[in-house]
Structure 1
């Protein structure tokens, strides 16, 4: 009993909690940030001498005695290493159709006068427009040659505007009966003559139906439905019988909202038409030069 009374009871002390543990993580984060800023600063400074040495070493390693892609300018690359912008759209090259020898096109691109352009961009646009005019006239000549081969020469109207080449089917009761969208034999003959040319190119094509202002009655509620149906029938003939890809052709009906002739006896005939529009893929500033080039020849 006396021995037990002489022992002191054990006291369990609580572990001391470190309230400054956050400082270690904070210091690690600051160290990482300082290292990051040092790396960014080093990357922003280009040592011209070392860069030239690296460029020469890489060129020698790849067997290029006179490297031109990398330059020792402020950046890593300049215009010498980029693909020159020709202004032409990307994608497959547009097919070049040789004009038919039997048909003289309405315009000879060689007769188109060159425009005195002060800037290189304007000179390039004029050159591109002249080349595009040659291509569109070649299409026109080929289509007309195909029409002549089936005895239908001179039965369509050609216009080159800022959109491209417009092939107009204009004739009263020649392609469609009045108030009908069914293709008459003359219409199928003309469409099948133009079909191989349209199938061979890569341009976008729109089929635009138009009517005169005479109110419609019968199957169609308005001229809008009639013009849309006529355009659709032409589209189907091109796609189903002439292998024109459906992903680059569309049909639209304008009713009587876009007349060629505002009034007079010719309005009833001229405004009742279907236009096949071959849309030029060139930029709009280049396409806008086409009409002036056609009219500027004096032909």
Structure 2
């Protein structure tokens, strides 16, 4: 190369240097994988920390949970008497989460829970039975008052008493002294019967239902198109007298007619024609349904 060319090359290099240029390209960074590797290791560490954390049970809080459940079942001294072991505690099986061994990995805790639930259910059943017996005792007092009042007028044999899942049922057999045949107007003796029933139930908070029933005889129903209208009209007559004479509020009274759909005796029974024709005054119990269902059995005891 001539001296002029060498000088020109040096001048060009000098010019590039002044402009900040480089003869060689910037080399590639081969250490970028370290950043991704570090992120992956961090995530793995967090994962293992979380797994470790959820595999442990706070023994104190677990004991508080057991005692709280025991108190809720009403028997803190008996409900939980097993050890405060970890949920991952080894048991007879190879699985660390063997649910068949109950809470805390011991059968004693599971059995204690079952015993506590059973004891709770027995206590509730006993409470319902006691409430049913108290209700029956109250109904007995009402029955005695009604019987004493009717006995003064020689009408005690015109009324029968029973207790079913609805409450106290006062059955008035609608013979000729209560209603004329196929009529719904109370006769004097019928009015005396209702007047004997009214005072004993007027002060009660219970609702009163009056049901009318006819018998299965195929004879006519007088001025009424069918037994439905006749039985409803008779129930309404009794209800009206309970309201006007005994002072029972209308909001506590209801009436219904069932014609011959709910007989007490089959048609083959000699008493069917007379006993199925009746009016029932029902003192409805205020107890819950599951307790009312115990009233018939409590009345038999």
- 8 Å CA contact 2:174–2:279 kept in 1: the answer is no
Is 1:177–2:180 an aligned residue pair?
Answer: yes
* Aligned-pair CA distance for 1:149: 2.3
How does 1:65-214 map onto structure 2 within 5 Å? Answer: 119-214=122-217
Higher helix share: 2
Equivalent in the alignment of 1:226: 230
Aligned alpha-carbon RMSD (Å): 2.2
Which runs of 4 or more aligned residues in structure 1 lie more than 3 Å from their structure 2 counterparts after TM superposition?
Answer: none
Match of 1:282 among 287, 294, 297: 287
Distance 1:191 1:138 in 2: 17
* Aligned-pair CA distance for 1:171: 4.4
Distance 1:126 1:117 in 2: 14
Distance 2:146 2:289 in 1: 25
Distance 1:235 1:275 in 2: 11
Is 1:272–2:277 an aligned residue pair?
Answer: yes
Distance 2:121 2:204 in 1: 34
Count of residue pairs the alignment pairs up: 185
- 8 Å CA contact 1:164–1:280 kept in 2: the answer is yes
* Aligned-pair CA distance for 1:130: 1.2
Match of 1:250 among 248, 254, 267: 254
Distance 2:201 2:148 in 1: 14
* Aligned-pair CA distance for 1:235: 0.5
TM-score computed with the length of structure 1 as normaliser = 0.58
* Aligned-pair CA distance for 1:118: 6.1
Distance 2:292 2:172 in 1: 23
Distance 1:225 1:233 in 2: 12
- 8 Å CA contact 1:208–1:231 kept in 2: the answer is yes
* Aligned-pair CA distance for 1:218: 3.0
Q: Secondary structure at the match of 1:242?
A: coil
Q: Which runs of 5+ in 2 are unaligned?
A: 1-63, 66-70, 72-118
Flag the 1:161–1:117 CA change in 2: closer, same or farther, 3 A: farther
- 8 Å CA contact 1:179–1:217 kept in 2: the answer is yes
Distance 1:194 1:184 in 2: 16
* Aligned-pair CA distance for 1:286: 1.0
Equivalent in the alignment of 2:79: none
- CA deviations on 1:224-261 (whole Å, 9 max, x unpaired) are 00000000000011101220111011110000010011
TM-score computed with the length of structure 2 as normaliser = 0.58
Is 1:292–2:289 an aligned residue pair?
Answer: no
- 8 Å CA contact 1:117–1:123 kept in 2: the answer is no
